[in-house]
């Protein structure tokens, strides 16, 4: 339940006990409703994680300057052509707003090349406070 105005609801997980293949996932999801998880704050973390990974929020991240800059660099490395930031921005907008028939690709983690370890002196950096859309911390 979202107690804003108007009051609404959002499905975060559903449990299907009739399908044995999904029992492990159901148990993991059901765990968030236990007293222990509520006391530890796991439910709050789960809620924040589900909000942050919602398609609308991830779609907003695609429009961030850093994401556009990274995609521009990746395009340059893949095809060898320079694109302006506006061209990449417009292409991202087309991807976000256009329905595409596409199979889910496999997630590939890059293999870490062996590097020599260097000692780095860590300096303290003040933490920034993250604000929500209303400008409140």
Residue 137 in contact with residue 130, Cβ under 8 Å? yes
**Average pLDDT over the chain, rounded to whole?**
75
Is 63's pLDDT higher than 60?
Answer: yes
- SS3 for 121? coil
Task: Using pLDDT thresholds of 50, 70 and 90, give the confidence band for residue 93.
Answer: very high
Task: Using pLDDT thresholds of 50, 70 and 90, give the confidence band for residue 22.
Answer: confident
pLDDT (0 to 100) of residue 6: 67
The mean pLDDT value for 85-89 works out to 95
Of 31-40, 94-103, 120-129, minimum mean pLDDT range: 120-129
Spatial separation of the C-alpha atoms in residues 96 and 88, rounded to whole Å: 12
Is 9's pLDDT higher than 60?
Answer: yes
Is 126's pLDDT higher than 50?
Answer: no
């Amino acid at each position: 339940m979202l107690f804003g105005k108007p009051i609404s609801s959002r499905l975060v997980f559903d449990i299907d006990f009739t399908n044995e293949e999904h029992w492990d996932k159901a148990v993991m999801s059901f765990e968030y409703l236990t007293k222990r998880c509520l006391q530890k704050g796991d439910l709050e973390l789960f809620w924040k994680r589900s909000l942050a990974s919602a398609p609308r929020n991830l779609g907003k991240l695609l429009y961030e300057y850093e994401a556009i800059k990274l995609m521009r660099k990746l395009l340059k490395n893949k095809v060898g052509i320079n694109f302006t930031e506006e061209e990449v921005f417009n292409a991202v907008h087309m991807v976000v707003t256009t329905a595409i028939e596409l199979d889910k690709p496999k997630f590939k983690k890059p293999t870490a090349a062996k590097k020599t370890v260097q000692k780095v002196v860590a300096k303290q950096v003040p933490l920034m406070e993250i604000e929500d859309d209303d400008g409140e911390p």
